[in-house]
Amino acid sequence: MSENVKITLNGKEIEVPADATIREAAKSQGIDIPTFCYDDRLKAYTSCFLCVVEVENARNMIPACSTTVTPGMVIRTDTEAIKTTRKMALDLLLSDHSGDCIAPCEDTCPSNIDIQGYIAHISNGNFPAAVKLIKERNPLPVICGRICPHPCESQCRRGLVDEPIAINPLKRFSSEYELEHGPFMPETKPDTGKKVAIVGGGPAGLSAAYYLRQEGHAVDIHEALPELGGMARYGIPRFRLPWDKMDKEISAIIGLGVNVHHNKSLGKDFTIDDLKKNGADAVLIAIGAHRAKKMMVENEDIPGVIGGIDFLRKVVLGEEVNVGKKVAVIGGGDTAMDCCRVAKRAGAEDVTLLYRRSQEEIPALQHEQDETIEEGVEFRLLTAPVEVLEENGKAKGLKVISMELGDPDESGRRRPKPVEGSEEDLEFDLIIAAIGQDPDVSCIEDEKEVPECTRWSTFVYDEKTMITSVEGVFTAGDCAFGPDTVIRAVSEGKQAAKAINLYFSGAKVELKKEYQISAGRLKDLDMADFSPRYVHQKRALETTHPADVRMAAGGYDAINVGIDEAQALAEAARCIECGCKARFDCDLRNYSSEYGIGDVKYKGDRRKYDVDTRHPLVSIEADKCITCACCVRVCSEARKISALSFVNRGFVTKIAPNFDDPLQNTDCDACGMCIDLCPTGTLAENTGKEYGPWVTDISISTCTSCPRGCAIKVHTKEGLITKVQSVDNDPINGAMICREGRFSNHLQDKAIELTDNELKEQLNNARNLLDDASKLAVIVSPKLTVETLFAAKSLCEEKNGTLYYIPGEKSEPNKFPFAKLKNSSNTALLNKMGAKAWDNASTDCILLVGAYLENKPKESVKVITMSNFKNGIAPDAQIPLADPLKSEGAVLTDEGYLAFLNTKLPVGKDLTPYTLLANLGGLNGFEDIASIRKQLAASVTELNGLLESGSDRLVKTNLTPEMIDVAPDCREVAFAKYCEGLGL
């Protein structure tokens, strides 16, 4: 052991081993020095220059990963110069890094919903998981599923193949499925003692309330109108957005513990100061934009003229609106279309839309225009109002003028110009001005501290903090950024909740966005790069009822029908998964976010390569590579395989198999260690949307594929094991894992599954077979947990049977280091329990527990199998055997350790192997793993470590290892057949 030396690290004197590197010394103090090219399993390489630090008296910055400390060394890891150097290194790497950190649909969505992720859940048939993921960014998916203009679809790359994915219909399907089966209710943290007053119960206010309650803050919503929903209720007709569905969705938010005060208006019933005096630690103003814009024409304030949003609100409130026979609606947006359609339903015989540009420039969604025309509304284009015509103090019509289009304005649309001498008078009973709306900020005029407003009547606020000019007062929604979509208001409400939570914590209030790169907007991409790679398929469509059906019975029933389950599954399968598979564990992205990297600083040519998916388990996206060489070095230095190398030289250097051959044509054994060490997603598992990518839960467990007992990092999400990785710094097997250890989770959808009734039937059959047996053989896999082996031994004793394992042929030594120990097991415990090598002994009943048997000794022998996979012989009864990745317990390693299993997805208590064996054998005292371990430790005292494991994964036993050659068990055979099917 080396002696210690004293060094000074960031102003603090510490002692570290004399042979430690600066990076190791910093790590011992909880300081993470960034690096791409260093890994504990490899020698230092110093290629990325990201780990540089300052050392007193050194002429230049030096790499921390390869520099050994010396006595008295003075080191700084956090100076501005260091940060600048690291940022330069990152900028240089990013100048030639390609791909999409996140899918373009998510990037385009105002609330940045993980669209690729929730579509993957839908593709797997897990609709509740899809809604749960959506609600991480949008608590109103039912509302948005009906009315969102879905800008995400405009950037869907599937549109370069055939048609964009039906993203919004998929959201609608999954969220309405959730309503039918019970809404998802997120957990709320313990009460913090902090209170937020939200002024406005529209989408922004509801969104903020949803996320604030999850943080444990008390929330009061003060709503000026009788019901919550804001513009979603009072500005969108219920034939487009059914109230029953909206009410259920809103009720789920209120059900988190939100207090609501209806019919309470800011400026009339209370002030911001009142809210603070009544205990609000923060106030969020989310009053929307409910004041209709003026047409700025003569006589527009007389009776018979009404703003579009005022008209829609009055109809919802049941207030009388005399539409008469002839109605004019001025405007071209979605609100104008809604006003036209509501006026028709209110009894107007003739409804005319007046718009000052051509139909090509109308901003309303195309299907809204089509449906409006189908319902009998006349479009009069290139027409603008000049004056409201008056008779007896009431509007009787409009003086209008024809327009012609000139040059484009700042919006990109051609500017309308009046045609001289084209005026004419038109008669109307009601004139609805639906040309937009503004926030009504008159409600704050009497405040002691008046929040500053813009000339557009919106609140001045900082988008990075959501804070207004008044301390403790935040804003979100249309009153902050101006009238926009519901999904943007939802996003702003969520951001405000984050900002308020930071404000309460005392941290700096600053909302940061993760770094991301993009392969480009749709217009910048070449269809030829996409279209030939996929089979062309039509997108799923929602069904809109014909106009006569829509207008029947008052016209307020839902006007369309969403896609069904079969359509949703097929549509989700069309997603081409543009986002990076490594988006949640990419070191390059994480460090770029940490160091505040913005747009690409050094521009120029970028390498471009096709994704290599020739290997069935490993994909290579060479244009994401930063040439850190970790994959090449772990394959050559550690595994001694050298399947990967640098191909070409200079700028066109890339990572690829030798001679650019398919990876499976090299000595590659698909251990996947190159994937684990890749910092960018260049090397990834060649899987599809069935495994995400998602943010996952992680547990550290033990691989049972062989007796090495390697540590594995198991990723799970919504009942699915999505990925298995090695664990850096683990003392076993050089912290490496093999192909089976990494990819055996691919068997989870191939396992035999029984319904509750089928299991009950199989258990009855098995018990009867055991009761009838006069000579029972229980054959186990030595790779089972010690708890399961003990339960099998106990069943043997109860049924007067004999315990066996199946010996195997001696396999050849591994060609490469750190590979799986084939056909080998530590049978010390089995031998201690009196187990014998199976020799086709005379028996009338065999119970196979995980073991794989090729042939029956006699045709008359009854066979019970405990396995999730097919055995070599047909069973008379089959019982499931929990997968090791979903099990707790411990296994014996080749070095005599107990290696413990851990899982985030344990099977049900009644389905654990030891419970099932106890059920079959009528055993007592096997109710839980703790009681089994007590009995086992009492029976085999060398395993006392079972009771003292604590949090350690490895515990030394006093059992001397007894390594023998054994036959493959059921799981090994199933995985071998799976690989064979892949051509490996």
Q: What is the pLDDT of residues 833-864, one digit of tens each?
A: 999 999 999 999 999 999 999 999 899 999 99
Whole-angstrom distance, CA of residue 69 vs CA of residue 61: 14
**Burial of 548 (C-beta count, 10 Å sphere; 0-12/13-18/19+):** exposed
Does domain 104-184+516-573 match CATH 1.10.1060? Answer: yes
Percentages helix, strand, coil for the chain (3-state, rounded to 5) are: 35, 20, 45
User: Is 977's pLDDT higher than 60?
Assistant: yes
Give the CA distances from residue 52 to residues 78, 82, 85, 242, 633, in Å, rounded to whole numbers and listed in that order.
10, 7, 8, 59, 21
Give the CA distances from residue 711 to residues 393, 592, 599, 671, 725, in Å, rounded to whole numbers and listed in that order.
85, 30, 39, 14, 9
Domain 4-78 matches domain 104-184+516-573 at the CATH topology level: no
Q: What is the pLDDT of residue 639?
A: 97
Helix 366-374 vs helix 334-345: crossing angle, to nearest 10: 20
Sequence letter at residue 345: R
Whole-angstrom distance, CA of residue 127 vs CA of residue 553: 33
State the DSSP string of 716-748.
EETTEEEEEEE-TT-SSGGG---HHHHHGGGGT
Taking residue 613's Cβ as centre, other Cβ atoms within 10 Å add up to 12
Nearest to 86 by CA among 35, 130, 43: 35
Pairing of strands 836-837, 802-805: parallel
Domain borders along the chain are 4-78, 104-184+516-573, 195-290+439-505, 291-438, 606-744, 756-810+823-873+887-935
pLDDT tens digit sequence for 9-65: 999 999 999 999 999 999 999 999 999 999 999 999 888 989 999 999 999 999 999
Structure token digits, residue 235: 């500005």
Mean predicted confidence (pLDDT) in 598-604: 79
User: Is 526's pLDDT higher than 90?
Assistant: no
Nearest to 669 by CA among 610, 738, 736: 738
Nearest to 521 by CA among 107, 943, 977, 825: 107
Fold of 195-290+439-505: FAD/NAD(P)-binding domain (3.50.50)
Length of the chain in terms of residues written:
984
Structure token digits, residue 391: 């008779």
Mean predicted confidence (pLDDT) in 772-794: 97
Q: What is the pLDDT of residue 949?
A: 66
Sequence letter at residue 822: K
Asked whether the beta carbons of 246 and 256 are under 8 A apart, the reply is no
Whole-angstrom distance, CA of residue 855 vs CA of residue 951: 42
Nearest to 743 by CA among 792, 710, 705: 705
User: Phi and psi of 954, rounded to 5°?
Assistant: -115, 130
Whole-angstrom distance, CA of residue 107 vs CA of residue 153: 11
Q: What is the pLDDT of residue 606?
A: 81
User: Phi and psi of 80, rounded to 5°?
Assistant: -65, -35
DSSP-based three-state secondary structure for 961 = coil
Residue 638 DSSP one-character state:
I
Per-position b or e across 341-350, b if 16+ CB within 10 A of its CB = bbbbbbebeb
Whole-angstrom distance, CA of residue 99 vs CA of residue 588: 12
Give the CA distances from residue 968 to residues 209, 294, 532, 627, 745, in Å, rounded to whole numbers and listed in that order.
56, 80, 43, 40, 18
Q: How many CA atoms lie within 13 A of 936 on its CB side?
A: 28
Asked whether the beta carbons of 673 and 724 are under 8 A apart, the reply is no
Whole-angstrom distance, CA of residue 195 vs CA of residue 283: 9
> Percent of the chain beyond pLDDT 70?
100
Mean predicted confidence (pLDDT) in 135-156: 97
Residue 788 DSSP one-character state:
H
Residues 6+ positions from 651 with CB-CB distance below 8 Å:
605, 607
Q: What is the pLDDT of residue 653?
A: 86
DSSP-based three-state secondary structure for 846 = strand
pLDDT interval class at 2 (50, 70, 90):
low
Give the CA distances from residue 200 to residues 111, 209, 251, 283, in Å, rounded to whole numbers and listed in that order.
20, 11, 16, 11
pLDDT interval class at 741 (50, 70, 90):
very high
Q: How far is CA 213 from the centre of its chain?
A: 21
Nearest to 877 by CA among 757, 773, 758: 758
Mean predicted confidence (pLDDT) in 403-422: 89
Residues 6+ positions from 590 with CB-CB distance below 8 Å:
none
Q: Cite the DSSP H helix spans in 864-939.
A: 913-921, 929-939
Q: Apex CA 533: angle with CA 530 and CA 539, to 5°?
A: 75
Whole-angstrom distance, CA of residue 160 vs CA of residue 319: 49
DSSP-based three-state secondary structure for 845 = strand
Q: What is the pLDDT of residue 46?
A: 86
Mean predicted confidence (pLDDT) in 266-290: 97
Least confident of 118-127, 472-481, 528-537, 880-889: 528-537
User: Is 652's pLDDT higher than 70?
Assistant: yes
Whole-angstrom distance, CA of residue 593 vs CA of residue 285: 30
User: Is 1's pLDDT higher than 60?
Assistant: no
Mean predicted confidence (pLDDT) in 590-594: 95
Place of tokens 């045709």: 859
Q: What is the pLDDT of residue 520?
A: 87
Q: What is the pLDDT of residue 917?
A: 96
> Percent of the chain beyond pLDDT 90?
89
Give the CA distances from residue 794 to residues 631, 877, 890, 920, in Å, rounded to whole numbers and listed in that order.
48, 20, 18, 11
Whole-angstrom distance, CA of residue 115 vs CA of residue 134: 8
User: Is 477's pLDDT higher than 90?
Assistant: yes
Whole-angstrom distance, CA of residue 788 vs CA of residue 766: 18
Residues 6+ positions from 899 with CB-CB distance below 8 Å:
702, 709, 732, 890, 891, 892, 893, 953, 954
Q: What is the pLDDT of residue 603?
A: 80
Q: What is the pLDDT of residue 584?
A: 95
Which helix or strand (DSSP H or E) is residue 282 part of?
Answer: strand 282-285
- CATH number at 606-744: 3.30.70.20
User: Is 867's pLDDT higher than 80?
Assistant: yes
**Burial of 371 (C-beta count, 10 Å sphere; 0-12/13-18/19+):** buried
Whole-angstrom distance, CA of residue 815 vs CA of residue 650: 34
**Mean pLDDT across the chain:** 95
Architecture of domain 756-810+823-873+887-935: 3-Layer(aba) Sandwich (3.40)
Give the CA distances from residue 597 to residues 110, 514, 589, 623, in Å, rounded to whole numbers and listed in that order.
21, 9, 9, 20
pTM of the full structure:
0.94
Asked whether the beta carbons of 356 and 414 are under 8 A apart, the reply is no
pLDDT interval class at 286 (50, 70, 90):
very high
Whole-angstrom distance, CA of residue 427 vs CA of residue 25: 85
Mean predicted confidence (pLDDT) in 725-732: 96
Asked whether the beta carbons of 22 and 75 are under 8 A apart, the reply is yes
Taking residue 189's Cβ as centre, other Cβ atoms within 10 Å add up to 10
State the DSSP string of 578-619.
-S-TTTTS-HHHHHHHHTT--S-SS---------B--SSSEE
Pairing of strands 394-408, 424-427: antiparallel
Top CATH class of 4-78 equals: alpha beta
Asked whether the beta carbons of 165 and 119 are under 8 A apart, the reply is yes
- CATH for 291-438 (1.20.1250.20, 3.40.50.720, 3.50.50.60, 1.10.1740.10): 3.50.50.60
Whole-angstrom distance, CA of residue 887 vs CA of residue 785: 9
Residues 6+ positions from 150 with CB-CB distance below 8 Å:
167, 168
